[in-house]
Amino acid sequence: MKKAIFPGSFDPITLGHYDIIERGVTVFDELIIAIGINADKKYMFSLEERKKFIEDCFKDNPKIKVVTYKGLTVDFCQKNDVEFILRGLRNPADFEFEKAIAHTNRDLAPIETVFLLTAASTSYISSSIVRDVIRNNGDYTKLVPKTVRIK
């Protein structure tokens, strides 16, 4: 059984994330969407809200699990018998950043990173852009799945 983790803060999940998850789940038997907890980071959405957005989005897909974790991603992988890390790439800058992390992870543990290119239609979307649109009362609904709605 090939298990992969798709780690991130998902503050909030975007249509870019959604695209990578939908395509990634066809490659792996199980895909764990893992929301990392970073005490030093200021989030727009609570951990519970971010987890619920994602769970609601994929509630009908039994191959997808949503969890939270602290610490190194490779430690999570080893504790949960996960061999692969899935990452999405939007542009060359993402590649350079993700390549360094992938090399570091492979130095720390026998974990392979698998990269998928984002769809052209979502490659411009990032969580930070979504948060900026929300802060400025813009229409963020075009950038996120339907489960992401501010009350």
- The Cα-based distances of 96 to 115, 116, 118, 123 in angstroms read 12, 14, 15, 16
**Any binding-site annotation on 46?**
no
Alpha helices in the chain (DSSP H): 15-24, 47-57, 73-79, 92-108, 127-135
Q: Of 90, 99, 106, 131, which one is the catalytic site residue?
A: 90
To the question of whether residue 87 is assigned a binding role by annotation, the answer is yes
Verify whether residue 127 is a known catalytic residue.
yes
Q: Is 103 one of the annotated active-site residues of the chain?
A: no
Taking the CA atoms of 145, 6, 123 and 121 in sequence, report the sign of the dihedral they define: negative
**Known binder of ligand: residue 121?**
no
Separation of alpha carbons 68 and 119, rounded Å: 26
Q: For residue 100, count other CB atoms closer than 10 A to its CB.
A: 10
Annotated catalytic residue 46? no
Known binding residue 17? Answer is yes
State yes or no: is 41 an active-site residue. yes
103 is annotated as contributing to ligand binding = no
The answer to whether 90 is a known ligand-binding residue is yes
Q: Is 135 annotated as a binding residue?
A: no
Catalytic residue numbers read 17, 41, 90, 127
Feature table: binding site: 9-10, 17, 41, 73, 87-90, 98, 122-128
Feature table: binding site for substrate: 9, 41, 73, 87
